[in-house]
Chains A and B, each alone.
Chain A
Amino acid sequence: MKAAEFDVNEKIGNVREILTDTQKKRGILIHAFQQIQKEHNYLPEEQLRLLSRKLDIPLSEVYSTASFYKHFYFKPRGKNVVCVCAGTACHVRGSHKVLEKFEEAFGVKEGETTPDLALTLETVGCVGCCGLAPVVTVNEDVVGDLSVKRVEALIKEVKGK
């Protein structure tokens, strides 16, 4: 969704009945980031400018709010996003080794994107599939019970995508 298309009243939900216009505009800010990011896969500057104008929130505020949250990005991200779970269950079952393997295979560090925008490598606190630790998500898919062999296969698969 583009910043210009937001319907503030609809997005804020049922509580709109008790809110002032300013509260509504502020209240949908994070939701707006999510929508923009869904479309562009990051938060492009011109969209943030549009949003700032539309919601009457200074750009600096818009930016400082977005940058507080880990989920928002200001640079384009890879076509595939691989996210290694670094939660407790995964940590004690060796997720750091899984991360190293990916770093090696793609020549990037955690949090980086390959120059050809093929892949972004990240870690997450826990994806909530701890029973299958160590766990990796590839885009929307959860892949668990990773062994050295399965990591290698997975790397191949991601490279092929």
Chain B
Amino acid sequence: MERLKSIDDLKKLSDRLKDETFRPEIPRVRLCSGTACTATGTPKVLSAMEEEAGKRGINLDIVKTGCQGLCQKGPVMKVEPQGLFYQKLKPEHAKAIISYTVLGNIPYRQSLYRDNILSEPIPEMTDVPFYKKQLRIALRNNGLIDPKNIHHYIAVGGYSALGKALGSMTPDRVLNEVDKANLRGRGGAGFPAGKKWKHTKSAQGKTKLVIANGDEGDPGAFMDRSVMEGDPHSLFEGMLLCAYAIGADYGMIYVRHEYPLAVKNLTHAINQAMELGILGKNILGTNFNFTIDIREGAGAFVCGESTALVASVEGERGFPRPRPPRLSERGGGVWGYPSNLNNIETYVCVPPIIEKGADWFMGIGTKNSPGTKVFALTGKVVNTGLVEVPMGITLKEIIYDIGGGVMDGKKFKAVQTGGPSGGCIPERLLDTPVDFDTLAKVGSMMGSGGMVVLDEDNCMVDVAKYFLSFCKSESCGKCPPCRIGTYQMLEILEKITTGKGESGDIEKLTAIGEKVKESALCGLGNSAPNPVLTTIKYFRDEYEEHIHDKYCRAKACSGLGVYSIDHEQCFLCGLCKQACGFDAVKETSRSFFIDQDYCTKCKACYLACPIGAVKIEKQKRKSVSVSG
């Protein structure tokens, strides 16, 4: 690769690549090679496609892309020029796809997407409900290009924002454009990137750092991963623009170590960009210098918190510290240098803003939350995956129109947004538009964009307990409110879910929760009580049931309810008796029944019965006998 010596060189290369790469007359497949699709079989499909194309001597362009979003139906592939979307691919489909589509120009029905076995398949990707309402800014190149090929990135217009900025914009103009676009941080709190950049820029000292937070510790979130794996150069371009705007020479990407493919692809991309003269000294022949280093995390959620991240990069234990000093101030950033820290998705939104202008960006989304947001839609929803939507779209649209509704025809119960720092939103609030401020108003938050759909089989108390136990085990232990408070709350929840709850427990949970929120040192503790507090707010009756009726309506918590066998249904297979480890299932000549004295409510019989004849019911409330 020859080094680009000027902005003009980049322009020329870009023009040439636009003509030569992705030529419309060459048949092309874009095969997803993201982590999930690789796990479900991409490598085998790839070699089958290559072999088949080779055998028939066709010039087929196979682009190995990053995640295309609908991981659950993987491996997925897009075929051009027809724009067909194929899913759940197997190596044996390669032959048919090449004969039908590549050579014969007609869809191969068997691999097309369909909502269910009875519905008609949908050939074109843009018609698939999952993709229909999406608008891709951050994920614009994911699924389009090969992340290992910098030329692909340039061919789709990559690095042209950098060329534009270096060639015709002052650093201040770049900064003002980002500020005007009101790009709010996508890592959780939604602080405007422009304001943060200004702080860092105006800080004392010549040396400044640009840091990308790729820790993505929220369980259930994988958008930053997809970008780092599938479109690393977009991230670099965003960081470069930031560096140019604020006058920084050094950059760093902090990646969690559970993402080995991200580290690999980022490293590869950095080397290519260095070679091409897009990173390094005198970038594109200007006097702008910028390099990027990768730092791997080591399995501590709290290291995503900005001050803990600084400590971790410096080689210390990842303890948060009080702010100020902020990272953007002298003495506050890594090694004391003023540092600008943003989330991966935040940086990735910058190049299109510089290219198309702030007004374009502000035209998308809502007034106070312009642009789009990527969500990891998971849980009990038909189409799980990564979706990018304009802000302001309702939860209902995301879950039903894009996600296809609740799995297995079950009843919707709640949607959990914002990860461990977020909250649970009930059905009656499904029309809530998704943006930073509205989600906060209903007691949840955007967080990094985790969105978990819960159905009637999920117990809200159990879900709250799940998030709290996550925060408890991830608490760094530095400050007592978080260390002790989450522990105490968890004890109470443990009591409630095992049937030992007492009246007054809910009030205790609320009181401790409020205290922890107020007094913890960092965001982890400040937000840890959120899932508990919102579930109490919206699903208090489930807590009451656990405590007073010793009953879990979702049948998720063992140790609750009264177990019995419905004799009308029971066909005497005996599986429940086999399953019971406590000899509580008794057999008579005509029926099975459960001996309440032996039953430990372990749920083994309930799970064993093939037809649901074992019932779990509310305990009859004992009437209080008033003795005279």
Q: Is the CB of B379 within 8 A of A93?
A: yes
- A23, CB-defined interface residue at 8 Å: yes
Q: In the bound complex, what is the Cα–Cα distance between A126 and B452 (angstroms)?
A: 13
Q: Is the CB of A127 within 8 A of B315?
A: no
Contact check, B39 vs A68: say whether CB atoms are below 8 A apart.
no
Decide: A15 near B293, CB < 8 A? Known: A89-B452, A130-B376: yes
The segment from B212-220, B346-354, B520-528, B563-571 that touches chain A is: B212-220
Number of B residues whose C-beta is below 8 Å from A?
A: 64
Which chain B residues numbered 375 to 402 have a C-beta less than 8 Å away from chain A? 376, 378-380, 384-386
Q: Which A-chain residue is minimally distant from B73 (CB atoms)?
A: A131
A104, CB-defined interface residue at 8 Å? no
Choose among A23, A72, A127 the residue that contacts B258 (Cβ–Cβ < 8 A).
A127
**CB pair A69 B39 closer than 8 Å:** no
B491 at the interface (CB under 8 A from A): no
Main secondary structure of the interface of B (DSSP, over half): mixed
A130 to B301, CA, bound (A): 17
How far, in whole Å, are A13 and B468 apart by their CA atoms in the complex?
38
- Is residue A28 within 8 Å, beta carbon to beta carbon, of the partner chain? yes
Are the CB atoms of B222 and A128 closer together than 8 Å? yes
Q: Contact: B378 with A142, CB < 8 Å?
A: no
Are A128 and B463 neighbours in the complex by a CB distance under 8 Å? no
Find out whether the CB atom of B296 lies under 8 angstroms from the CB atom of A18. Answer: no
Contact of B12 with A by CB under 8 A:
no
Residues on A with C-beta less than 8 A from B380 are 92-93
Q: Which residue of A has the minimal Cβ distance to B207?
A: A18
Instruction: Give chain A nearest CB distance to B69 CB in angstroms.
Output: 9
Complex Cα distance, B291 from A99, in Å, reads 43
- In chain B, residues 299-331, which have Cβ atoms closer than 8 Å to a Cβ of chain A? 299-301, 312-318
Can you list 23 A-B pairs with a CB-CB distance of less than 8 A? Answer: A12-B293, A13-B291, A18-B207, A26-B316, A27-B315, A31-B295, A68-B318, A68-B476, A70-B300, A87-B219, A88-B219, A88-B450, A93-B379, A125-B258, A125-B474, A126-B218, A126-B220, A128-B259, A131-B71, A132-B72, A142-B39, A144-B36, A144-B40
A-side residues, CB < 8 A to B, are 12-15, 18-19, 23, 26-31, 33-34, 64-65, 68-72, 86-89, 91-93, 124-133, 140-145
The 5 closest A-B pairs by CB, nearest first: A131-B71, A87-B219, A13-B293, A69-B298, A71-B299
Contact surface of B with A, Cβ cutoff 8 Å = 35-36, 38-40, 70-72, 74, 207, 209, 216-222, 225, 250, 252, 257-260, 291-301, 312-318, 335, 337, 376, 378-380, 384-386, 416, 419, 450, 452, 454, 458, 463, 466-467, 470, 474, 476
